[in-house]
Structure 1
Amino acid sequence: MEKKAILPRIFRGILLITNIGVIIWLLLCKYVSYINPANDPSVLSLISFTCFFALLGNLIFIVIWLLSKRKKRALFSIITIIICWNVVSPLYGINFLGRNKVAPTEEQGLKIMTWNVHMFDLGEWTKDKASKAKIIKLIKDENPDILCLEEFYWDAGTPSEPYTEVLQQLGYPFVSFAMENEMPKNHITSNASRKDTIKVGHAVFSKFPLRNAETYPLFDITYKMLSVEVVIDSSNIFS
């Protein structure tokens, strides 16, 4: 009988420790929201991308405790979610009674688009020959003010090719690069000679002037974060 009583205690103890872990996880997501990665670049900043999963973990534990005899323990995660509401609520775009304070982009503010273009399907991984044209078309249709592209690439000898100049002609004269890797182009596609070399990294295209571009290493020297200042006018500058 004693052994049978011990097992549930161990199980509840494991649940409680795990619950504390996801609570700390969500609190870390709130903490990093106050860190400016431009001033303090750190891998810790990437935790903010896991906020949804930290929230989901806490919601699961709320249900678990409410279905158990120790219902009061659900308060641990409930209180944590309330404390972290400023980082939790944007995940769902919650508004009350149909009221939404976010003004349309056409009326005020900037439209910012971020996209991992995966080297514009250079290796034809999607098996869609029109994928490159579709990417350009979507960017043109969305017409953002600031365009942030991950896994962007450009020819080592001619940075304007193959897509830099195309995007600039769409209305983005200002561009900033952060190179992460340089490699032979024929490693990605067979439609290239051995002499062709490409640079891969991040790019920011803008309708407004860019200045003070900085790159920060993440994990190791291979992965980098790009930070730039966008100058709307003399009194409106943001990064």
Structure 2
Amino acid sequence: MNKNSFLILNILLAIVQIGIYYISKIPPEQFWPGAFLSFAFPYVTIFNAIFILGWLMSKRLFSLISLFSIIITLPDITSSFSLPVKQTEGKFQILSYNVKNFDLYNWSRNKDSREKMLEIIRTENPDMICFQEFFTNEKDEFDNIKKIHEEFGYKYFHYEESTQYQKNHWGSATFSKFPIVERGKIDFDGEFKNMSIYTDVKIQNEVLRIYNLHLQSYHMIDEDYDFLKAISDFKIPESGSLISIFRKMRSGFVKRSKQAAIIKSHIDEYEGKKIVCGDFNDIPISYTYKLISKDMKDSYRFRGLGMGKTFVSSLPSLRIDYILVDNSIEVEEYRKLPYRYSDHYPISISFSF
């Protein structure tokens, strides 16, 4: 490949990067292909960075092509990549964790998963916890509300269920060591099974609203993941369907964008201090993330490191769990805890007012 070919490829990659940046601002129900393109953004950025280094060693003027695309798209780059910064211990700690029903169905093939997840809580001992895909029942052996409430010292909790069968309950839960003064549930329109909750806790003389979000997933099954893994390993898939995966992803993009609009309206109406935690099921280049995080601070962008993957997979760019804070809150520390007992990593921040 000669220099002219490299130059054309470089120009195309720069255009693609800028295009993804602007297209990702369009709601998926208006233009859903943009949501698929957003997954390529981190990798296109890396290639453009390589082009800058390459041209600096030969035709320095050409390095401006990729440099221009990187400057234009810098807001999305900083939400996907974070550099090391000095961290300090804050006054309060909040942890967010999608626990996959405490591995109720033993998906990880680890019978001790639930106890290990609970051990994280016992060790970290955060002031507040936001659980997504929380499971509990009315029997002592799997009464997770009772265990966390009584044994771990979380005097206050807010639980809302999305599904119930006999004595089994599934939903979202927020636990706090501080008094809860208000609570509520944000229901989505009938077709949506996911939900979000908000909990107002009184910390000293301040009231902090905590949003605990769990947005629409793709509802993929094992065959879908096996298909994607085979493709990523350059193998011929033995099962699964690309068309089925495509349809599930497109449906997820559209439903999440509608949910995000409902949530954002609710967040903006509240004028007090607030933290937004949870499993957005969408990456930082997505319309969903950009809408919810507008006018808020993403704790990872200020205190995180690297690409910040929170979903357990072979892809390094799947950061889909977030802790956002309003501008009156100082994030002192952000951590992704390296435990693979669920299909999500727990994340936590320490903060102060």
TM-score of the superposition, structure 1-length normalised?
0.62
* Bigger Rg, structure 1 or 2: 1
| Residue 59 (1) aligns with residue 46 (2) | yes
Distance 2:77 2:21 in 1: 13
Cα gap change, 1:80 to 1:109, in 2 (>3 Å):
farther
Residue in 2 that maps onto 1:39: none
Query: What is the CA-CA distance between 1:8 and the residue it aligns to?
Result: 7.9
Query: What is the CA-CA distance between 1:23 and the residue it aligns to?
Result: 3.4
Which of 205, 208, 219 pairs up with 1:234?
205
| Residue 137 (1) aligns with residue 119 (2) | yes
Query: What is the CA-CA distance between 1:124 and the residue it aligns to?
Result: 1.6
| Residue 21 (1) aligns with residue 19 (2) | yes
Query: What is the CA-CA distance between 1:119 and the residue it aligns to?
Result: 0.8
Which of 184, 192, 211 pairs up with 1:221?
192
Distance 1:219 1:87 in 2: 32
Query: What is the CA-CA distance between 1:207 and the residue it aligns to?
Result: 0.6
Query: What is the CA-CA distance between 1:11 and the residue it aligns to?
Result: 5.0
The 3-state SS of whatever aligns with 1:124 is coil
Q: Would the aligned equivalents of 1:23 and 1:58 in 2 still touch at CA under 8 Å?
A: no
Query: Which runs of structure 2 are paired with 1:37-116 in the superposition (5 Å)?
Result: 54-55=41-42, 57-67=44-54, 70-80=62-72, 82=74, 87=79, 91-92=82-83, 94-95=84-85, 100=86, 102-104=87-89, 108-116=90-98
* Aligned residue identity for 1:64: F
* Aligned residue identity for 2:202: V
Cα gap change, 1:12 to 1:60, in 2 (>3 Å):
closer
Distance 1:9 1:63 in 2: 13
Cα gap change, 1:152 to 1:144, in 2 (>3 Å):
same
Q: Would the aligned equivalents of 1:116 and 1:149 in 2 still touch at CA under 8 Å?
A: yes
Query: What is the CA-CA distance between 1:137 and the residue it aligns to?
Result: 1.8
Residue in 1 that maps onto 2:183: 212
Distance 2:39 2:177 in 1: 32
Superposition RMSD on alpha carbons, in Å?
Answer: 3.9
Residue in 2 that maps onto 1:150: 132
Which of 166, 171, 196 pairs up with 2:147?
166
Q: Would the aligned equivalents of 2:93 and 2:127 in 1 still touch at CA under 8 Å?
A: yes
Distance 1:138 1:9 in 2: 51
Query: What is the CA-CA distance between 1:86 and the residue it aligns to?
Result: 6.6
Number of corresponding residues: 190
Distance 1:64 1:180 in 2: 49
* Runs (5+) with no aligned partner, structure 1: 1-5, 29-50, 185-195
Residue in 2 that maps onto 1:45: none
The 3-state SS of whatever aligns with 1:67 is helix
Seq. identity, %: 22
Distance 1:67 1:131 in 2: 47
The 3-state SS of whatever aligns with 1:231 is strand
Q: Would the aligned equivalents of 1:22 and 1:58 in 2 still touch at CA under 8 Å?
A: no
Q: Would the aligned equivalents of 1:153 and 1:199 in 2 still touch at CA under 8 Å?
A: yes
Query: What is the CA-CA distance between 1:24 and the residue it aligns to?
Result: 3.2
* Runs (5+) with no aligned partner, structure 2: 26-37, 211-353
Distance 2:8 2:66 in 1: 18
Q: Would the aligned equivalents of 2:98 and 2:131 in 1 still touch at CA under 8 Å?
A: yes
Cα gap change, 1:219 to 1:64, in 2 (>3 Å):
farther
Cα gap change, 1:66 to 1:52, in 2 (>3 Å):
same
TM-score of the superposition, structure 2-length normalised?
0.44
| Residue 178 (1) aligns with residue 160 (2) | yes
